[in-house]
């Protein structure tokens, strides 16, 4: 029997790999043993590369936007579809995280309900309002939203994907130049860089055959050179060169790596990303206090993974369908008038 989402297996496989990178990084490398109340060394040196999972997400996101934006009739519809995809899971994961903060400690990282509420209405997205994120890793969601809005405007003004990709390339060059000289004054704009370069690479992978040879050369040259001038990639430049090439080829060639479980993990990767860090680290800390170090990490993985599956199945999928159906009915009524 054919898998229902076989057409996108290669995309979900990359998402699955990306979220495993991130989870392993946070659970076995990012936090000190003292912070996690560990007496044994659970740090794996290879896990230091795990933070690059976020960059894989960004490349895949660029590819997916290239694949879907041309099927959308207006900027408003594009925003509604993105909202339906992201907000329900974000709302529930954010609320659950705030509940955990109400009962457990996560020193230096937890936020109160007011700050959490301001996050949930995206007040911290506005220039000048810098509320602490509900969970520090939620910064990536804001970067994604900025990409959707900025690139969405570019596309629906130009109405041509090839032209839009080249304009985005110019924006990336300009934005990275500002970031290189001043990374604080124009933070609302510059915070999307250098991540915008990764969205560019994903867009290029999707539309590769229709881009000119000159455009391809410029984009690849820029993508690789930017690794050597951005602080984010310091000491990881050659690793990222390899990673960008592998992810690009996986998207362009539609490779799924033959790992059957990865596409499913990829399906719930968004909600797992939103829940794994704060909630998982709280669980690890609390279990370690009870002298359960040998199983705390595994329990955190299973708990947050299970929670993610529940949120995806009961909330994310259903809410997206409800929002889009409501939008379609509203549009139908409006058109009939």
How confident is the model over 306-320, as pLDDT tens digits? 999 999 999 999 999
Contact 26, 276 (CB under 8 A): yes
Tens of pLDDT, residues 195-206: 999 999 999 999
* Predicted local distance difference test score (pLDDT) of residue 73: 92
CA dist 178 and 191 (Å) reads 11
Q: What does the alpha-carbon distance between residue 124 and residue 225 come to, in Å, rounded to a whole number?
A: 32
Place of tokens 């495993």: 20
Q: What is the mean pLDDT of the chain?
A: 91
**12 falls within a domain:** yes
Q: Which has the closest alpha carbon to 14: 305, 301, 275, 244?
A: 244
74 domain-assigned:
yes
pLDDT in tens, 130-161: 889 999 999 999 999 999 999 999 999 999 99
The number of distinct structural domains making up the chain is: 1
Q: Tell me whether the omega of the peptide bond preceding residue 194 falls within 30 degrees of 0, making it cis.
A: yes
Domain presence at residue 1? no
The predicted model gives 7-14 an average pLDDT of 87
Give CA separation, 257 vs 52, 201, 225, 240, in Å. 18, 20, 28, 19
How large a percentage of the chain has pLDDT more than 90? 77
In whole angstroms, give the CA distance from residue 313 to residue 315.
6
In a domain, 53, yes or no: yes
CB–CB of 97/132 below 8 Å?
no
- d(CA 18, CA 56) in angstroms, rounded, equals 6
Q: Is the pLDDT of residue 163 over 90?
A: yes
**5 vs 12: CA distance, rounded Å:** 9
Tokens of 49: 């590369």
Write down the pTM of the prediction: 0.93
Structural domain for 96, as ranges: 6-336
Closest of 132, 55, 120 to residue 93, by C-alpha = 120
pLDDT confidence bin for 1, thresholds 50/70/90: very low
């Amino acid at each position: 029997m054919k898998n229902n989402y076989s057409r996108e297996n290669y995309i979900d496989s990359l998402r699955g790999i990306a979220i495993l990178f991130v989870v392993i990084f946070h659970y076995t490398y990012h936090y000190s043993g003292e912070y996690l109340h560990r007496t044994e060394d659970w740090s794996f040196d290879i896990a230091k590369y795990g933070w690059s999972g976020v960059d894989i997400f960004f490349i895949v996101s660029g590819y997916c936007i290239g694949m879907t934006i041309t099927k959308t009739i207006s900027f408003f519809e594009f925003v509604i579809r993105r909202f339906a995809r992201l907000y329900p899971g974000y709302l529930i994961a954010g609320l659950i995280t705030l509940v955990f903060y109400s009962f457990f400690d996560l020193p230096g990282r937890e936020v109160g309900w007011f700050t959490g509420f301001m996050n949930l209405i995206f007040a911290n997205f506005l220039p000048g309002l810098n509320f602490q994120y509900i969970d520090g890793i939620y910064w990536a969601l804001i970067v994604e939203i900025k990409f959707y809005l900025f690139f969405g405007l570019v596309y629906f003004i130009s109405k041509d994907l090839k032209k839009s990709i080249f304009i985005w390339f110019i924006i990336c060059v300009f934005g990275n130049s500002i970031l290189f000289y001043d990374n604080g004054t124009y933070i609302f704009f510059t915070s999307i860089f250098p991540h915008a370069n990764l969205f560019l690479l994903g867009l290029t992978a999707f539309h590769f055959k229709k881009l000119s040879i000159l455009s391809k050369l410029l984009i690849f040259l820029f993508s690789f050179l930017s690794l050597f001038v951005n602080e984010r990639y310091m000491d990881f430049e050659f690793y990222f060169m390899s990673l960008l090439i592998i992810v690009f080829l996986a998207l362009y060639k539609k490779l799924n790596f033959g790992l059957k479980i990865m596409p499913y993990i990829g399906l719930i990767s968004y909600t797992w990303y939103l829940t794994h860090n704060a909630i998982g680290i709280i669980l690890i800390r609390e279990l370690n206090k009870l002298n359960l170090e040998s199983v705390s990490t595994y329990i955190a993985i299973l708990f947050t993974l299970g929670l993610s599956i529940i949120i995806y199945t009961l909330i994310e999928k259903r809410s997206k369908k409800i929002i889009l159906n409501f939008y379609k009915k509203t549009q139908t009524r409006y058109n009939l008038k």
